Structure 1
Amino acid sequence: MRLAATVVACALLTLALPVRSYGDTPAIDPAAAQRAIAERQRLCEADNGKLWGVSLCGPFLFVDPATRQVVGNYPNAALPAGVIPANTAFPLGDGYVTMVMWPITDDPIARNILLMHESWHRIQRQIGLPPAEGNNDHLDTFDGRYWMLLEWRALARAATLSGSARRAAVLDALGFAAQRHQLIRGSGIAEANLLRNEGLAEDTGVALSTAPRDRMVRVVEELARYRGAPSLVRSFAYGAGPAYGAFLDLYRPGWRRTLNGHSDLYALLAAALHTEPSAATATKSVAAYDDGSLRTAEQQRETRRVARLAALRATYIDGPVLRIPLRGANFGFNPNAVVPFPGFGNVYTPFNATGWFGHLDAPGGALVTSDYSTFIVPAPKDATTLSGSGWKLTPASTCTLEAAERAGDFTVHCPAT
């Protein structure tokens, strides 16, 4: 199916797949979905391409993860086989479709931010900003988190100030970031990559769903919201993106049209302020943002993290496991609950994957190796058992479990693959 790069009218709303029912109640409330789609259309039409030079209107669907039922704004909307339900954009024909999982929040502000965030992912390749990732495991360590949280305190303070006081707080934030990047080799590039992806998406959501007079209020709210996430490894971009976007709008209007696939928001903001962030200066500013309680709390968290890593090693490395090669499989996870496992990969909780082997649903989590070649869950009791601690496997036709090379381990074998 080819999707024209034009605005698709909400009148084309369709129910495409069989529905899960409780009595006569569909998995997705058609009326509620239609209202949300209409609101998304209103927001993107109000923007009319001004923010990015390209309209964010276009093919869109809600999907119920359990049933794969969809409600979309284009004819015969459906979720293609092999596409895992997620908040993302998936390719179809010569373009992309925005997908958002149902149910959605009742909070109209959070809902509109999400809808426009995901709509940006549909057009990001078109504007020369392809998806980018970075290994930000350092943001689960003491140095990574401490200097990030100081940076966020400075950004939040800047959002409440004006004039020279605001500028000074922004400079403090950039200094704290510089200190982190100096302490942790490669962290600046890794963070810039994810900020250019999820950070710009979240900034788009905030900018297009917030009145200009409330923009800085929303910046503070976003920082507070993601500060409490279980992990900053991915969620940092969601929290920081709107802040950097708002300050760049203030100090360097038109900055979005200068971006490319290598742009660094930290460097852009520093250049806009005609400054070179100094790690040495940053250390002198710490007392203005931390009375010592933040450092103590993060040191205590680091102690708990070390203990957690020992438990993860016992579960995914030393103990018996089921290892399944990814080999092009699609997988989904909660970006706010990624646990870095240095030297081995990341543990995603919950985790689900679909591919050559069938479908794995792992609400208890799974380890994905650093090279993204394999995912690992605790071993089942034997080769005939298709479930284990926190997971269940629905194998593809002809696929079975078989013993792996290490005693007690298993893998999936499919004669035709």
Structure 2
Amino acid sequence: MKTFLLAGLLLGSAAGDALCQQSDTTATQAQRTFQEAAAATKKQQRLWGIDLYGPMLLVNPATREVYANMPDSSGKLQKQGTIYTGKLPSKINTANTSLYWEGRSWAMVQLPLPADKDERINLIAHELFHRSQPTLHFKLSDPTNNHLDKKDGRIYLRLELAALQQALAATSPEVRQQHLLHAMTFRHYRYELYPGADTTENALELNEGIAEYTGMMVCNRDKAAALKHFDKNLYDFLHYYPTFVRSFAYQTIPMYGYMLSQAKPGWNRQLNSQSNLTPLIVQAFKLSIPADVKTAATNYAREYNGDAVALEEAAREKKIQEQIAAYTQLFIKQAHTELRFVKMNISFNPSNIVPIDGYGTVYPTMRISDAWGILTVTEGALMSAQWDKVIVGLPQNVTDQLVTGQGWKLELNKGYNLEKDATGNYALKKQ
């Protein structure tokens, strides 16, 4: 018994030492990251006319351990050397984002960080921009662009991106100008196909596109590194992102913006929430968009493997319609569980969503915290078009404070339970 106890104590001591070493290592890495970010943003103050550096949280999503560069207002974070550490409350979702917490507006970035220094600073500067958006007169806006999940919407976005990639690689101003004209023609034809797309795309580009452009520019990569970065990002986007609805702006505006920064330095400092980026780009590069954009786009498409792109998108369209039919059956036609929001906070993966016209969008993974508790989704949930409720499948196991179903878990706060109505649907009820 004594031997067992001694072994247990030794094991506990060793584990504790290892934990301290691991924690110290993470804390040291966090401190170094804060120093890198501070140096990079200070060096690039001319980008926006201010130093973007400010309160930052580096969060381990598995343990919710948090490392901050500044104290919070209520002392939840404890000083450890030159940084501050603590635990993020479970009601706060972890994500790469900006948030207001404990008296400060923070940029939050999830651990682990990219190993490459430029990619690390790119990510952090992106979120620091989001934190600074109110100061820079940008409203936070995150509209969906469901037309970019349609066959033709995807085709003409892909062609625009292909033309942009060629413009970046061009070795003469004339060739670059030609590819930029083609890119903008594809864009204008897309807007003609989907009325209103110009407004929703512009809103997301002003939000996520400008944030990603900021991250790109704060890194201060040289030309070769910048082109390599764009090529890799575009390859990953086309091959690993199932949908473009919320992620396209991470590609378009950094590429346009990088070229604009060479042609018209400081172009971004005139922007605000009311800016319209497409005419700004057309004017800056002195592009003459053809009157008949349909014919022009059809002709230009041949230069960018347009036929192959169209075939790929036709095949995808067939598969996505089958997926939409299955989701419609599960979340709309069949009995299901509806959770209406009171004071919702959400995190999700924007790269794999599935829009369902008239009903909302299916998010394969998400985490929602609200007055009623915490919902964790791993196999899909339907967010309503009005963002006033989320729909999951029927519950399979129900206890007072934990309800589980296929691919979802609901941790209920006291005073709430699920009740079944006459139609077989379940809904939250406050006791």
Output the TM-score relative to the length of structure 2.
0.86
Aligned partners of 1:210 and 1:218 also within 8 Å? no
The corresponding residue for 2:243 is 231
Aligned-partner SS, 2:115:
coil
Q: 1:245 to 1:21 in 2, by over 3 A?
A: farther
* 1:311-322 equivalence runs, <5 A: 311-322=326-337
1:287 aligns with 2:302: yes
Aligned partners of 2:25, 2:112: CA distance in 1, in Å? Answer: 7
Aligned-pair distance for 1:68? 2.2
* Deviations 1:32-60, CA, capped at 9 Å, x for gaps: 2222222212211221x210111111111
Asked if 2 retains the 8 angstrom alpha-carbon contact of 1:383 and 1:402, the reply is no
Deviations 1:161-220 (A, max 9, x none): 031100110110000000100001111111010000000111111111132423344333
Give the Cα separation in 2 of the matches to 1:351 and 1:27.
31
Provide the rounded CA distance (Å) in 1 between the counterparts of 2:94 and 2:242: 22
Aligned to 1:267: 279
Is 1:129 the counterpart of 2:138 in the alignment? yes
Q: What is the one-letter code of the residue matched to 1:340? A: P
Give the SS at the match of 1:335. coil
Work out whether residues 166 and 176 of structure 2, in 8 Å CA contact, stay in contact via their aligned partners in 1: yes
The 1:396–1:120 alpha-carbon spacing in structure 2 relative to 1, beyond 3 Å, is same
Higher mean alpha-carbon deviation, 320-329 vs 146-155, is at 320-329
Q: Is the 8 A contact 2:372 2:416 kept in 1?
A: yes
2:408 partner amino acid: W
Structure 1: gaps (5+ residues): 1-19
Q: CA deviation at 1:276?
A: 4.3
Verify: 1:246 aligned to 2:258, yes or no. Answer: yes
Question: Is the CA contact 1:27–1:67 (under 8 Å) kept in the aligned structure 2?
Answer: no
Q: CA deviation at 1:154?
A: 0.0
Indicate how the Cα distance of structure 1 residues 402 and 157 shifts in structure 2: closer, same or farther if over 3 A, else same: same
SS at match of 2:135: coil
Aligned counterpart for 2:119 among listed residues 110, 135, 140: 110
1:42 matched to 2:59? The reply is no
Alignment correspondent of 2:80: none
Relative to its length, the structure with more helix (as a share) is 2
Return 219-228 or 159-168, whichever deviates more.
Answer: 219-228
Opposite residue 59 of structure 1, the aligned amino acid is P
Paired residues of 2:118 and 2:221 also in contact (CA < 8 A): no
The CA distance in 1 between the partners of 2:146 and 2:411, in whole Å, is: 31
In 1, distance between residues paired with 2:120 and 2:414? 39
Task: Find the counterpart in structure 2 of residue 139 from structure 1.
Answer: 148
1:23 deviates by 5.9
Deviation at 1:28, TM superposition (A): 8.2
Taking the aligned partners of 1:378 and 1:248, their CA distance within structure 2 comes to: 48
1:198 to 208, 217, 223: 208
SS for the counterpart of 2:48 is: coil
Deviations 1:228-247 (A, max 9, x none): 21110111011112112112
Matched length: 394
- Confirm whether residue 67 of structure 1 aligns to residue 76 of structure 2: no
Alignment correspondent of 2:325: 310
Q: Which amino acid aligns with 1:127?
A: L
| AA matched with 1:412 | L
Distance in 2, matches of 1:35 and 1:405, equals 59
Structure 1 residues 137-146 or 225-234, which shifts more?
225-234
Give the Å deviation of 1:93.
6.7
Query: Quick check: 1:362 aligned with 2:377?
Result: yes
Q: 1:397 Cα deviation (Å)? A: 1.3
| Greater mean deviation of Cα atoms: 336-345 or 181-190 | 336-345
Note the alpha carbon deviations across 1:62-113, whole angstroms, 9 max, x for none: 1122332100101235646743211111124775211011222223332221
| C-alpha distance in 2 between matches for 1:358 and 1:21 | 33
Q: C-alpha displacement at 1:120, in angstroms?
A: 0.7
1:106-159 C-alpha deviation (Å, 9 max, x unpaired): 233322211111111111110111111223011111011000000000000000
User: Per the alignment, do residues 211 and 23 of structure 1 end up closer, same or farther by CA in structure 2, a change over 3 Å counting?
Assistant: closer
The whole-number CA distance in structure 2 between the counterparts of 1:28 and 1:256 is 38
Cα distance between partner residues in 2 of 1:314 and 1:387 = 20
Runs (5+) with no aligned partner, structure 2: 1-14, 72-76, 78-83
Q: What letter matches 1:319 in structure 2?
A: Q
Distance (Å, rounded) in 2 between the aligned partners of 1:322 and 1:291: 43
Question: Separation in 2 of the partners of 1:391 and 1:247?
Answer: 44
1:9 is matched with which residue? Answer: none
- Which residue in the other structure is 1:169 paired with? 179
Q: Which residue of the partner structure matches residue 188 of structure 1? A: 198
With over 3 angstroms needed to count, the CA separation of the structure-2 counterparts of 1:28 and 1:388, relative to structure 1, is: farther
Query: Aligned AA for 2:262?
Result: L
**Equivalent residue, structure 2, for 1:99:** 108
8 A contact 2:138–2:272 mirrored in 1: yes
SS at match of 1:86: coil
- 2:367 is paired with a residue whose SS is strand
Deviates more, 1:365-374 or 1:209-218: 209-218
Q: What is the alpha-carbon distance in structure 2 between the residues aligned to residue 39 and residue 377 of structure 1?
A: 42
Q: 1:227·1:239 contact (CA, 8 Å) conserved in 2? A: no
Structure 1 residue 29 corresponds to structure 2 residue 55: no
Q: Give secondary structure in 2 for the equivalent of 1:206.
A: helix
The 3 A distance-change label for structure 1 pair 405 and 248 is farther
Query: Do the aligned partners of 2:374 and 2:411 also contact (CA within 8 Å) in 1?
Result: yes
When the two chains are superposed, the root-mean-square deviation of aligned CA atoms in Å is 2.1
1:311 counterpart SS class: helix
SS at match of 2:47: coil
